[in-house]
């Protein structure tokens, strides 16, 4: 069976963009068609500073979020990255395959390092190489992600191709990005040109998966919009990024297309549409947040799920690392 891999950083504030662009898609891909492997990428999280207490809390909260959203830890392999050392070990090999220039071109590196690149961590620079290792240590072929990860997935393919060429093998598969649905890029509620993000300093810019019904309703009520009524056709959303974002969120939450939503709500003012969206968001997200809160009271259970997931993950990752070492010529491997 083809294997799916994806991950989310436990860097705080799991939000609606992570849910619609990634987590909800992870749930959809569970089934007999794929083996699904999902990871809390704590090694990625520390490429920017994380307070140790916050990191531990966010990792457990993220695990609770995965399960509350519908990931079945019996079916899917669910674990945190640091507990499967093969990720970091393969990443080192890939650091020696990938080129500096490839990393320098990454827009996430440019955005996150900002003007003072000399002061960014070496880990942040090498982030895409570790991501390639996350995927390829499982020989995963399908990777569901949001639109912002497209460039990193292309780099994963480049690393696999160069490794195979350099060593004259056909070992690492060429992975397919799975960037689908109406919410591959959920935008900030305060600025339709910025993506909804964990690190935005304004909490009003995002809906957190832990927000209660009042907070969700308030954030939607205050979301930036334009003064016009909603159009009935999709073309009418061009040049209206905030309107388009709210329609896309509605569509994704309701498992509809944006066209279907507009057929129903075209002509309505935001004063009428926003309460509809708030009601739908609360209906879909409240059960997740209350289940997350319940699971957070069961810390030992979460830790056990992660430990068991790491064990299962290593049974796949370990032979692939050994084979990689053997291909590279490391004595003792195999
Ligand atoms: N706004 C978004 N819309 C759709 N998908 C999104 N993802 C993130 N933001 C959106 C997807 O969520 C998955 C996990 O993301 P991540 O935590 O690994 O990385 P991130 O992009 O760093 O998340 P943030 O919220 O954007 O954090 P900061 O603020 O640190 O930059 C990925 O599949 C991602 O595409």
DSSP H or E stretch at residue 24? helix 24-28
Between CA 15 and CA 332 the distance in angstroms is: 45
pLDDT tens per residue across all 334 residues of the chain: 899 999 999 998 899 999 999 999 999 999 999 999 999 999 999 999 999 999 999 999 999 999 999 999 999 999 999 999 999 999 999 999 999 999 999 999 999 999 999 999 999 999 999 999 999 999 999 999 999 999 999 999 999 999 999 999 999 999 989 999 899 999 999 999 999 999 899 999 999 999 999 999 999 999 999 999 999 999 999 999 999 999 999 999 999 999 999 999 999 999 999 999 999 999 999 999 999 999 999 999 999 999 999 999 999 999 999 999 999 999 999 7
Q: Among 62, 198, 251, which residue has the most ligand 1 atoms within 8 Å of its CB, making it the best to mutate?
A: 198
- Indicate the length of the chain as a whole number: 334
Interface confidence, given as ipTM, is 0.95
**Per the residue annotation, which of 24, 195, 219, 274 is the catalytic one?**
195
Q: Are 6 and 26 in contact (CB under 8 A)?
A: yes
In the chain, at which residue ranges do the beta strands (DSSP E only) sit? 3-8, 35-40, 77-80, 142-144, 176-178
Q: Is the CB of 209 under 6 A from ligand 1?
A: no
What are the structural domain ranges in the chain? 3-184+298-328, 210-294
Q: Is the CB of 11 under 6 A from ligand 1?
A: yes
- Specify whether 198 is catalytic: yes
Fold of 210-294: Tyrosyl-Transfer RNA Synthetase (1.10.240)
Q: How far is the CA of 167 from the centre of ligand 1 (A)?
A: 34
Between CA 79 and CA 76 the distance in angstroms is: 10
Residue 78 pairs in a beta bridge with 38
**Per the residue annotation, which of 24, 53, 110, 112 is the catalytic one?**
112
Q: Classify domain 3-184+298-328 by CATH architecture.
A: 3-Layer(aba) Sandwich (3.40)
- Specify whether 194 is catalytic: no
Determine which residue's CA is closest to atom 7 belonging to ligand 1. Answer: 18
Q: Is the CB of 21 under 6 A from ligand 1?
A: yes
Q: Is 199 annotated as a binding residue?
A: yes
């Amino acid at each position: 069976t083809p294997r799916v891999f994806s991950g989310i950083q436990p860097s705080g504030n799991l939000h609606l963009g992570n849910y619609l662009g990634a987590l909800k898609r992870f749930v959809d891909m569970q089934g007999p068609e794929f083996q699904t492997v999902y990871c809390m990428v704590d090694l990625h999280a520390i490429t920017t500073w994380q307070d140790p207490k916050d990191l531990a809390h966010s990792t457990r909260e993220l695990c609770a979020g995965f399960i509350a959203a519908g990931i079945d830890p019996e079916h899917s392999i669910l674990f945190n990255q640091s507990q499967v050392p093969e990720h970091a070990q393969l990443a080192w090999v890939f650091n020696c395959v990938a080129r500096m220039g490839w990393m320098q071109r990454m827009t996430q590196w440019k955005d996150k390092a900002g003007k003072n690149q000399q002061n960014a961590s070496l880990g942040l620079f090498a982030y895409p190489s570790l991501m390639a290792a996350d995927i390829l240590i499982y020989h995963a072929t399908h990777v569901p992600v949001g639109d912002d990860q497209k460039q990193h997935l292309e780099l994963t393919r480049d690393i696999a191709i160069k490794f195979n060429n350099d060593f004259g093998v056909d070992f690492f598969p060429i992975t397919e990005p799975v960037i689908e649905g109406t919410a591959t890029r959920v935008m900030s509620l305060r600025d339709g040109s910025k993506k909804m993000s964990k690190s935005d300093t304004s909490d009003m810019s995002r809906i957190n998966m832990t927000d209660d019904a009042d907070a969700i309703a308030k954030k939607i009520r205050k979301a930036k919009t334009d003064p016009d009524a909603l159009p009935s056709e999709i073309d009418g959303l061009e040049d209206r990024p905030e309107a388009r974002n709210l329609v896309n969120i509605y569509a994704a939450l309701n498992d509809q297309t944006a066209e279907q939503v507009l057929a129903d709500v075209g002509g309505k003012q935001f004063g009428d549409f926003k309460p509809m969206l708030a009601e739908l968001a609360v209906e879909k997200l409240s059960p997740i947040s209350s289940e997350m809160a319940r699971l957070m009271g069961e810390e030992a259970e979460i830790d056990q799920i992660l430990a068991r997931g790491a064990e299962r993950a290593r049974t796949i990752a370990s032979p692939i690392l050994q084979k990689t070492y053997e291909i590279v010529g490391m004595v003792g491997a195999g």
